[in-house]
A = this chain, B = another copy of it.
Amino acid sequence: MTLNPIISILGRRLRLAVIGGGPGSFIGAMHRQAARLDDRYELVAGVLSSNPERAKKAGLEIGLAPDRAYTNVLEMLHAEKARDDGADVIAIMTPNDSHYQYAVAALENGFDVICDKPMTNTLEEAEALHQKVTESGLVFCLTHNYSGYPMVRQAKEMVMDNQLGTIRLVQVEYVQGARADENDPDPAKGEVSWRFDPQKSGPSLVMGEIGCHAHHLLRFITGLEVAQVSGEIGNIVPGRLVHDFAGALLRLNNGARGNYWVTQAAAGVENCLRIRVSATKGSLEWMQEFPQTLTFKPFQSPSQTRTINGPGTMPLSARSSRIVAGHPEGFHEGFANIYSDAAEAIVARKAGVKADPLALYFPTSLDGLLGVRFAHSLIESGQADGKWMDC
């Protein structure tokens, strides 16, 4: 491969504008680092805060030119559209309730879009946005970044390559302690207060923050869809207005069964996103806190610990790593893979060339829609005494 496929094709880096991600935003810094790592984007513009003053100040601090440190989203979209050297891509990393409006506005102004998850707060918005994306022909990339980890991609490839056989059982969980504090149920407190406000965070905080990741990870690795769900969702920390746990049993579209468990109220646990897939030829296990390894337990053979770029690495996984075996890659690199793949798709669209097929595994608006729909069905099942609901 050439050293920088974007420069090779386009003669320059993609120009990126961001919405959100101002001071104190973990995810904003992450998006920008992810965009930077592989040198496929040049950050040229942004509205870093909904507060105009903070937006301007933060834009300058990250090095935007004064006239491109915008204070209003629509203004930015129009101005960048009008420039010869205007942004190519809009990346959205705002609170959940504004994803829909900004994404629609960006698409309507002809921009490719990279959007943080959950795609939208409501099923109606999700369906409308997915339709808008489909009609536009533009690239829409949803940052389910965990699907960017090399060993997650290795797992997907082993399944696709039939090294696992027929999938029978899947267990996926996302267990966190981020919202375990008894004294932290109050929507009026703290910098992250929008998360505890159901108007802003959506009908289900736990699904929007982490549950949608677990759902996507299961679908990404197995290539299966969730046909039906029976579950329960709610708040286990007393007094909270938002969901902090969900449990569900799943029926997948090939007849396999699944178990789903997500919570942000597990005191002391950090960020335990974990999946296990059992199939006729063996089982796979992966966990996000040690993403550099993938355990493969073949039927009647010794358990294997696969590593990034280690023996047995398959093409998509190899392409998703920058190291030689034994040098761990982490969260940033997985996130950057999503950005870099989206860049290839965007450049291919712009240049009218065919993208590397291995670049096309990043999550899309369809993934976003299915994620929102799954949360919806799970909530319905909980309200219906555990009745199995279609997804």
Contacts and interface: CB of A to CB of B under 8 A. Distances in A.
Counted per complex, copies of this chain come to 4
A296 interface: yes
Contacts of A256: 236
Contact of A4 (B63, B182, B302, B386): B63
Nearest to A238: B255
Contacts of A257: 232, 234, 236, 245, 247
Contacts of A323: 26, 30, 330-331
A267 interface: yes
Interface in A293-342: 296-307, 310-312, 322-333
Interface stretch (A111-119, A278-286, A343-351): A278-286
A269 interface: yes
A262 to B, nearest CB: 10
Interface residues on A, range: 35 or more
A280 B267 contact: yes
Contacts of A365: none
A265 B289 contact: no
Contacts of A307: 270, 289, 302-303
Nearest to A228: B386
A39 interface: yes
Contacts of A311: 300-302
Nearest to A145: B327
Interface stretch (A90-98, A102-110, A168-176): A168-176
